[in-house]
Amino acid sequence: MKKTLGLICLLSLACALEGKAQIEGKKSLAAKGAKLEKAGEGFEFTEGPAVNREGHVYFTDQPNNKIHKWAFNTGEITVFMEDAGRSNGLFYDNRRDVLIACADEKNQLWSITPKGEKKVLIESFRGKRLNGPNDVWVGPNGGIYMTDPLYKRDYWERDPGMQQDGEHLYYLAPDHAQFIRVDENLVKPNGIIGSQDGKKLYVADIGDDKTYVYDIEEDGYLINRQLFTEKGSDGMTLDNRGNLYLTGKEGVTIVNRKGEQVGRIPIPEELTTNIVFGGPERKTLFITAMGSVYTLEMKVRGTH
């Protein structure tokens, strides 16, 4: 089910960006001759791609309440889980061999085994429901960071209003015994990703159209919050050069370690929702966008 689509702008580090001066460097981040390919279509709203150790990618179709699995070696997409808790953001915890899912139906955080057996990890904070877990990242020590914005859902049986006293960023300790807030000063946190070494955390405040970077302390607390780029994002990912990939209405925007835009991947959909590097070498960029999913072969590698 692959449909080749030409890239309007290959991820060039030397192209002019929206009238700005050219960015230094001439090498493309995409593999030689790579073209954007439609890997699947016919979904309602795709989100939350997560890659397992082998390189297969899980992603959600939230309105249809399913988690799908894309096989990197065949390109086949199959249903991994029905009745998936209206899962949104996902991240694969390879230490425990489980999929971590933001199960939005009842505002919970789940772990899911390869056989589809689920366990509720979190469903409240200080005795009150969460607003709606949205995106998640698991650090190398097993600690879990989660964003909890409010997006009102028509399938909720609860009061659809704010459950907490704001839209915050949370941390679940590796032993799952401690669940704390680590930033209460965001407008609407959404996309989240951490560095491979577990020392940096990037969080998009989509409500304020900004992305921040934090230093991660050994106990999971965050310090030294700094503005990374004047652009928010839905889902995000990192490559091995330290480039951050942001998603939204402009397709995929790529910024370097300094937060400067160095490339863009136009996606022929109204909204690009999330992104991950798949495949055994983490060189296949897998992109969720509305009713479709796309792939693009890269020179750089993903770090998760």
* 71 burial type by CB count under 10 A (0-12 exposed, 13-18 middle, 19+ buried): middle
The CA distance from 54 to 49, in Å, is 14
> Helix %, strand %, coil % for the chain, to 5?
0, 45, 50
Domains of the chain and any CATH numbers = 3-297 (2.120.10.30)
Question: 10-residue block means of pLDDT along the chain (304 residues)?
Answer: 45 36 50 95 97 98 98 97 97 97 97 97 96 97 97 92 97 96 98 97 97 97 98 97 96 96 94 98 98 97 94
The pTM is what?
A: 0.91
Task: State the pLDDT at residue 27.
Answer: 59
Residue 4: predicted pLDDT: 46
pLDDT of residue 28: 78
